[in-house]
Amino acid sequence: MSEYPNSTAEVKRFCRSGGFDFVDLQKVRDRVYRGTLCDRQFDNSSTAFIKFHPHSKHEIFQDFVDIATDVGHPECHLVDGSYTCVIMGETSGRPLSHLLPIAFVPGIWQLRKGQYEQAYYQLGNQLGVLHTATQSTPSLTISEKKRKKALDRIEYISGTLSESLTTTIRSLFADERQTPCAITYGDRSPHNIYFDGSSISQIDFAGKRRSTAYEHATVLVGLRLMHRRLPYASSDRLSTLERHYWDGYIQTGLAVPNKESIAIWCLYLYLHLLSFYRSNPSSLNAKLTQWIDPPKIRKEIHRTVETVS
């Protein structure tokens, strides 16, 4: 038997067996569906999303649904049996990927600065709550498989960094210190974080246990690349939002991870992006950013390495 349903009819039958009766069910993308609930609502809305996951993620999602709303996720329920899926309500607001380009405009920033400082404080606090509730034995900052992949990709920046900085990158990836480990959302790029003017909501929970430095790096890389793309976004706005993010995180009692572990994951993500752009991506958005991002990514790599040199 397949690990995932093969038709919307099968999705309907499975959800109904778990107490969720859907109409107008449509497939959004692979393993994700959107529909209207017949006899129940999430936050005054009958619209809900269904996302199927591997059976191996059962325990992680079982723990997550109990704290989901405490960590910024819409209300959700686990339905388990022949398949494993999470049924969740819609999120409010708009993604930060749409909002930040407007918020960073000088005149608007003066009016909205406090809102976005609070947004990043909330984001840090939500991730701190998640990491506190699910923390486990510390582990290596990065796996051997990913370490090797990153080292193989250093060729993408050859000639753009000095030999000493390249040596620093190699030594960072050779670092075998252990860092805090917990269940993580996954990619926290601005498109996965929604803001309605007062509250932050998060979507696309991946549910993988790994170094918390990874999750912090996805927040920082997403914000820093957004800042690089906007010529009118000054560096003080970037540092302000990062500072409020860390303030929210440490408010939960957790410490900021060491700067080397954050740098390792930032560099990994930057090198991954350069590799992605070299693969001739097919989406329209990627084709546009393919010409804009690589020089900015290389500048961020340079800045990241300098912070730990």
User: pLDDT (tens digit, 9 = 90+) per residue, 166-208?
Assistant: 889 999 999 888 999 999 999 999 999 999 999 999 999 999 9
Contact 201, 285 (CB under 8 A): no
Q: Taking the alpha carbons of 34, 36, 40, 41 in that order, is the dihedral positive or negative?
A: positive
Closest CA to 216 of 114, 111, 128: 128
The pLDDT of residue 67 is 96
Contact 35, 66 (CB under 8 A): no
**What contacts 158, CB < 8 A, 6 or more positions away?**
166
* Domains present along the chain, CATH in parentheses: 8-89 (3.30.200), 94-308 (3.90.1200.10)
Q: Residue type for 13, please? A: R
DSSP strand pairing (200-202 vs 193-195): antiparallel
Could you tell me the pTM of the whole model? 0.94
Query: If you count them, how many residues does the chain have?
Result: 309
Q: What secondary structure does DSSP assign to 37-82, as a single string?
A: ESS--BTTB-EEEEEEE-GGGHHHHHHHHHHGGGGTPPPEEEEESS
Contact 109, 155 (CB under 8 A): no
Q: Report the mean per-residue pLDDT for the chain.
A: 94
Cα Rg of the chain, angstroms = 20
Q: With bands split at pLDDT 50, 70 and 90, how would you rate the model's confidence at 265?
A: very high
Contact 5, 14 (CB under 8 A): yes
Name the least confident of 55-69, 156-170, 194-208.
156-170
Closest CA to 304 of 178, 200, 213: 213
Residue 282 has pLDDT above 90, yes or no: no
Q: Can you list the alpha helix ranges (DSSP code H) found in the chain?
A: 8-17, 58-67, 96-103, 106-134, 144-152, 163-173, 212-229, 235-250, 259-278, 284-308
- Distance, in Å, from the CA atom of 294 to the CA atom of 296, rounded to the nearest integer, reads 5
- Distance, in Å, from the CA atom of 184 to the CA atom of 149, rounded to the nearest integer, reads 21
The pLDDT of residue 1 is 62
Tokens read off for 79:
């339905």
- Name the phi and psi angles at 228, rounded to 5: -65, -35
- Distance, in Å, from the CA atom of 51 to the CA atom of 57, rounded to the nearest integer, reads 12
DSSP 39: S
DSSP 201: E
Widest distance between CA atoms in the chain: 64
- Distance, in Å, from the CA atom of 36 to the CA atom of 48, rounded to the nearest integer, reads 6
Exposure b/e, 208-244, CB count within 10 A at least 16 = b: eebbbbbbbbbbbbbbbbbbbebeebeeebbebbbeb
pLDDT, tens only, 97-111: 999 999 999 999 999
DSSP 55: G
